[in-house]
Structure 1
């Protein structure tokens, strides 16, 4: 039960962090491209790569990994919002922007996970 509550608390912290970052970026960015969600998911996937490598190299234990990845990053990242923004761009007939956002939302996070993993792998060599 304690782990359940800790994951929930970390998820709440992640959601609040996403809200603050999302609001801050949206104040500064006035463009059709949904930059705030993109930046949040890029940060989350980079951190997930770091966490996965740290767990694989036994730098962090399973409990810490669970709290950070499932809890905090689960509350912080938001793939469903990215999909909703793609649909919204398509409904507004911004097909090029929707396609670009879709491609970037898939490719860049994969690269970020690899980069995060690489950061830990280099230090373990």
Structure 2
């Protein structure tokens, strides 16, 4: 149990580092108000979560592998709490249209990505 805890924590750390690298890379070329880096990271995480969930459901991977990847790596990689803060910052900055668009796209696109991931993982 303690070993599993340490492994999940380590995978979470790897996910956080991957998020940091990808976030920094995207922010270097994307300078508009729309928070593209968080949007891309959450969409990738949702797609991967869908694949992981389907793979676990179809018994392609065991519970430990699923926990390491979904709870550990993707838990550290995804940034939905950052998304909420970015929406609030856009509202405070009076970017109401961008905030609304970002809110809607952050729900619709990652949900679609998770569904697509489920179908990919079910193949």
Fold similarity call, TM over 0.5? yes
Query: In structure 2, what is the equivalent of residue 43 of structure 1?
Result: 44
What is the distance in 1 between the residues matched to 2:19 and 2:121? 24
Give the Å deviation of 1:120.
2.1
1:33-54, CA deviations, whole angstroms, 9 ceiling, x for partnerless residues?
0000000000000000000000
Matched, 1:2 2:7: no
CA RMSD of aligned residues (A): 0.5
Q: By how many angstroms is 1:83 displaced?
A: 0.3
Runs of 4+ in structure 1 displaced over 4 angstroms? none
CA separation in 2, counterparts of 1:100 and 1:11? 29
Cα distance in 2, alignment partners of residues 120 and 30 from structure 1: 34
SS at match of 1:93: coil
Task: Deviation per CA, 1:39-78: give whole Å up to 9, x if none.
Answer: 0000000000000000000000000000000000000001
Whole-Å separation in 2 of the counterparts to 1:40 and 1:12? 16
1:54 maps to: 55
For 2:14, the equivalent position in structure 1 comes to 13
**Any unmatched runs of 5+ in structure 1?**
none
Aligned pair count reads 122
2:105 is equivalent to residue 82 of structure 1? no
TM-score (norm 2): 0.98
